Structure 1
Amino acid sequence: MLKLPSGDTVPLMQIALFQPDQPTNTGTLLRLGACMGTPVHIIEPCGFPFSKRALRRYAMDYADHVTLHHHADWHAFQRWRIESGSRLLLLTTKSAQPYHQFTYQPDDILMVGSESTGAPDYVHDIADHRLLVPMTANVRSLNVAVSMAMVLGEGLRQTDNWPEG
């Protein structure tokens, strides 16, 4: 929740990275979260060492500006998500639902899978919705950070939940 100067609070859209394996993409997504005021969830195991020192290297000086939630595994994230009551929206090439034709809620969690393997079936099965970034034929996929930026931008536009400042 974001506390406004009026004292009111508004729910925040959130970013989740399922078992990321590319530290540069993780850094980019952490910077995206910092710049958009969007909390970021990292779900272990990562394909690279994840520590406070590594975080500073990946996210550079943005590490101090992102709200980071670190989950030891998928089950820990799921327990947190169920308590939060937020919908889980999985960005995937295995969907027919274009992201720009979907109706977002302010507290949605936008998730990308691992860069090398995507998200396994059990994540697809639990996701409340699966969203596709339409692309031209004969290409495999966009970079996860690019996809997330596109979808987050649409979600923030629809919910008019842009960061102040």
Structure 2
Amino acid sequence: MEVLFGLHPVEEAIRSGARPLESVVVSRERRDERLERLIALCRAAGVSVTTESREQMTKLARTDQHQGILAIVKERAFLSVEDLLKRPAGHEGNRFFLACDGIEDPHNLGALLRTADAAGVDGVILPERRAVGITGTVAKTSAGASEHVRIARVTNLVRALEVMKKNNVWVVGLDERGSPDYMDFDFKTDCVLVLGREGAGLHDLVKKTCDHLLRIPMAGMVSSLNVSVAGAVVMYESVRQRRQPAAPTPHPVKKKLKGLGS
């Protein structure tokens, strides 16, 4: 079992129905309209609600940032890369995936998952080792978006990217020494955006696996953006490009026919 804490993560876990909730625990010391609405949502979903002291809840959540509510949930069942590549029913158009190469800060991963959900990303690939998992802090930072995003966890990121390539998905890495600028890349195709570690960037093998390395131009003295900000910038450039209407097909100009009497 896992512990989710915070109003948004618990609410989204209930709404998504992605995994069973064993129970929801609320603080005896907190009573307000927002918490009461969430308790009513639990009861409507058939989820049992119990009360504990704030001190006991802090021990269960291992943090005092629980906002007076936490949920005991079944461990998440992650997808495979092959699962991500299967189109959900009714899904049309080009796909956009996100891959994280060794991100260690749970706040960065949570922010990326929140943006991925907002931008309609089709799936996220996370490595099992040397990277943060989907912790309670990640769920809280994502404002519950981690319960909605399709996530695959893989033992070997390079191998997972190679599977993507074999399925005609372009692998696009973000690197401060890359070329071209991210705005000059055509995202109107199936692609996966790969983001590197905080500070160190992409691993060498991951970088070599990429079909393209893009950069975000920097006008100031700092050479790069925080990884969650950089990822958001590129994800929404992809959204912008995909929402542009296709250029209209020009109609052929009808020439006046010449003949007798003209």
Is the pair's TM-score, using the shorter chain for normalization, greater than 0.5? yes
Match of 1:35 in 2: 118
Counterpart secondary structure, 1:88: strand
Contact preservation (8 Å) 2:125, 2:154: yes
Match of 1:61 in 2: 144
Match of 1:98 in 2: 181
Match of 1:46 in 2: 130
CA shift, 1:30, in A, is: 0.8
CA shift, 1:96, in A, is: 3.1
Q: 1:125 to 1:17 in 2, by over 3 A?
A: same
- 1:155 and 1:78 map into 2 onto residues whose CA distance is 19
- Map 1:1-165 → 2, pairs under 5 A: 1=87, 3-4=89-90, 9-38=92-121, 39-48=123-132, 50-51=133-134, 55-160=138-243
When normalised by structure 2's length, the TM-score is 0.54
- 1:126 and 1:117 map into 2 onto residues whose CA distance is 17
What amino acid sits opposite 2:199 in the alignment?
S
CA shift, 1:66, in A, is: 0.8
Contact preservation (8 Å) 1:87, 1:128: yes
Contact preservation (8 Å) 1:43, 1:77: no
* Structure having greater relative contact order (Cα 8 Å, sep ≥ 6): 1
- 2:168 and 2:137 map into 1 onto residues whose CA distance is 31
CA shift, 1:83, in A, is: 3.8
CA shift, 1:124, in A, is: 1.9
Listed one character per residue, the Cα deviations across residues 2-24 of structure 1 (whole Å, up to 9, x for unaligned) are 544xxx62232111111111111
CA shift, 1:80, in A, is: 3.0
Counterpart secondary structure, 1:125: helix
- 2:89 and 2:92 map into 1 onto residues whose CA distance is 4
Residue segments in structure 1 that go unaligned for 5+ positions in a row: none
How many percent of aligned residue pairs carry the same amino acid? 24
Q: Which moved more, 1:74-83 or 1:84-93?
A: 74-83
What amino acid sits opposite 1:9 in the alignment?
E
Contact preservation (8 Å) 2:119, 2:236: no
When normalised by structure 1's length, the TM-score is 0.82
CA shift, 1:93, in A, is: 0.4
What amino acid sits opposite 1:103 in the alignment?
D
Counterpart secondary structure, 1:10: coil
Q: Which moved more, 1:124-133 or 1:97-106?
A: 97-106
What amino acid sits opposite 2:191 in the alignment?
D
Counterpart secondary structure, 1:33: helix
Q: 1:123 to 1:69 in 2, by over 3 A?
A: same
CA shift, 1:116, in A, is: 2.9
Structure 1 vs Structure 2 CA RMSD? 2.3
Contact preservation (8 Å) 1:90, 1:130: yes
Q: Which moved more, 1:99-108 or 1:110-119?
A: 99-108
Residue segments in structure 2 that go unaligned for 5+ positions in a row: 1-86, 245-262
Q: 1:14 to 1:78 in 2, by over 3 A?
A: closer
Counterpart secondary structure, 1:151: helix
